[in-house]
Amino acid sequence: MKKLLLLMVIPFFSSGKITPEIANPDKFNENLFNQISSSNYLATISGCKVISLKMFHPPERNEYPQSDTWLCLFSVDVISNGYGPGQALPEKVYLDKKTGLWKKKKYILSKEGTQRSLEIYGIKSLSELQPLELYNIWSVNAHGYAVVNRNIPLEEKKKGVKKKLSFCLIQNQSYFSFCGSGSMVDLVDGKNIDFTPYMLKSLETVEMGLPEKSNN
């Protein structure tokens, strides 16, 4: 029954869409991208098969800042976990199964959770935390969320990380999800270059479940 409900609540879109809409950077060029077609992700399941996407990038740099491993996960786990648990934040992202949209909600951290948050982010008060930015993403054959998080753990901040983007896209009519995260700001020629809008546009182009190419 859970699997049946999962297939029913995810809306189908055949082309890319982002909500809320984002403005393209002044230097955005739809011809500046690296075409990625890969099954190089960490998974104990093979349901994602080959994943294809265009990685748009600014003219100053064609390689993204450091990113975490891409994952292929069961969609039921993605929906159950949402975004927020483990982040030590008083805010989380969840799927509204009535609308099929990902939404944010705040919650109160316990005393222990509050102390953990202060220690992780190196802050003196929860008021120093910045709200999450949430986007609903519809790609070629998947739908999910992208979360922009400016609350960087102290250890990562020491390494120069300023902002991270995390995403999970659930393949239409499937039980599998493509997830990942990474730093979105890089220093190029003494200037901070923000890759966030380029990555969001890239997620619109994701296509999952493609067959492996035959060597014959």
Model confidence, pTM: 0.88
* Res 213: pLDDT: 72
Evaluate whether residue 215 is within a structural domain: no
Give the CA distances from residue 67 to residues 53, 71, 99, in Å, rounded to whole numbers and listed in that order.
16, 12, 31
Tell me: pLDDT of 13 over 60.
Answer: no
How much is the pLDDT for 43? Answer: 60
Residue ranges in 51-110 assigned as alpha helix (H): 75-81
Domain of 147?
2-210
pLDDT at 69: 79
- Contacts of residue 167, defined as CB under 8 A and 6 or more positions apart, other chains included, come to 137, 144, 145, 146, 147, 179, 180, 181, 203
142 domain residue, yes or no: yes
Residue 122 counted as domain residue: yes
Structural domain includes residue 216: no
Domain count within the chain: 1
Mean pLDDT of the residues in the chain: 88
Could you identify the residue written with the tokens 């390689």?
A: 63
pLDDT at 5: 36
Per-residue pLDDT at 64 exceeds 80: yes
- Kindly state the tokens that stand for 83: 């975004």
